[in-house]
């Protein structure tokens, strides 16, 4: 049985703003609701209108899926722990007098710009009002923060002559944030 054009149009609005997997689930439910109204004796047109009314406004559905987007949730968690991990690394850099390391100024500026970019990506994901855009920026932010943590761990291990308790704390915090990034990526990538 073919679905009426109004249902196809309804699903097209959803498909333009949500991942295909979500739209497929919604389409299945909407088709079942439509068939239920047909079994109750409604004609195809009124059955389609009743099914869509039961599901609600497609823009509201998109807004609600966007609100619970796993990318937004993951980005918010990473932004929440960011200052703690950053504070740990600041303590390491101060304790090992990193300002005396022979790191060229362009490299220092580059690291700062990368960090600001990743924070911006996470903020865009956390505050985004479009599902797909939040998912893309969330993925980039999660990968970026994991890379920054891996580089920080590697860099300090190579540059510092000895491992200190402060360094162990920062490495543990970064390792935990890498795990949090991976955990945040899983539901984003499965959609």
Domain of 31 in residue numbering reads as 5-65
Chain position carrying tokens 């999660």 = 142
Dist. CA 18–CA 35, nearest whole Å: 24
Dist. CA 71–CA 128, nearest whole Å: 10
Residue % of the chain over a pLDDT of 70: 98
The predicted-structure confidence for 102-153, as pLDDT tens digits, reads as follows: 888 898 899 899 999 999 999 999 999 999 999 999 999 999 999 999 999 9
The pLDDT of residue 1 is above 60: no
Per DSSP, the three-state class of 79 is helix
Residues 46 and 126 occupy one common structural domain: no
Residues 75 and 52 occupy one common structural domain: no
Residues 55 and 75 occupy one common structural domain: no
Residues 54 and 91 occupy one common structural domain: no
pLDDT, the chain, mean: 93
Domain termination site, one of 65, 89, 112:
65
Chain position carrying tokens 């939040």 = 134
Residues 97 and 23 occupy one common structural domain: no
Domain termination site, one of 17, 48, 65:
65
Position 81 scores a pLDDT of 97
**Mean pLDDT of the region 67-82:** 95
The predicted-structure confidence for 24-62, as pLDDT tens digits, reads as follows: 999 999 999 999 999 999 999 999 999 999 999 999 999
Dist. CA 30–CA 11, nearest whole Å: 9
Residues 156 and 132 occupy one common structural domain: yes
Residue % of the chain over a pLDDT of 90: 82
Residues 48 and 131 occupy one common structural domain: no
Dist. CA 13–CA 4, nearest whole Å: 15
Position 102 scores a pLDDT of 81
Position 156 scores a pLDDT of 86
Domain termination site, one of 50, 65, 80:
65
Residues 56 and 146 occupy one common structural domain: no
Position 103 scores a pLDDT of 81
Residues 74 and 105 occupy one common structural domain: yes
Q: Which residues are CB-neighbours of 166 under 8 A, at least 6 positions away? A: 88, 91, 92, 95
If one counts the domains in the chain, the total is 2
Dist. CA 35–CA 12, nearest whole Å: 19
Residues 97 and 56 occupy one common structural domain: no
Residues 75 and 152 occupy one common structural domain: yes
Position 160 scores a pLDDT of 80
Residues 134 and 184 occupy one common structural domain: yes
């Amino acid at each position: 049985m073919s679905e009426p054009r109004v249902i196809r149009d309804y699903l097209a609005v959803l498909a333009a703003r949500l991942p295909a997997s979500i739209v497929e689930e919604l389409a299945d439910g909407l088709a079942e609701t439509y068939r239920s109204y047909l079994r109750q004796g409604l004609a195809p047109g009124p059955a389609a209108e009743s099914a869509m009314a039961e599901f609600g406004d497609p823009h509201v559905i998109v807004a609600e899926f966007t609100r619970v987007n796993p990318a937004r949730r993951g980005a918010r968690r990473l932004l929440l722990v960011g200052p703690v991990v950053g504070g740990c690394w600041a303590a390491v850099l101060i304790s090992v007098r990193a300002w005396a390391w022979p790191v060229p100024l362009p490299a220092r500026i580059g690291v700062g710009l990368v960090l600001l970019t990743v924070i911006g990506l996470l903020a865009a994901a956390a505050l985004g009002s479009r599902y797909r855009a939040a998912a893309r920026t969330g993925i980039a932010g999660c990968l970026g923060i994991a890379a920054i943590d891996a580089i920080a761990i590697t860099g300090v291990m190579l540059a510092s002559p000895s491992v200190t308790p402060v360094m162990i704390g920062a490495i543990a915090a970064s390792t935990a944030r890498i795990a949090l990034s991976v955990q945040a990526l899983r539901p984003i990538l499965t959609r």
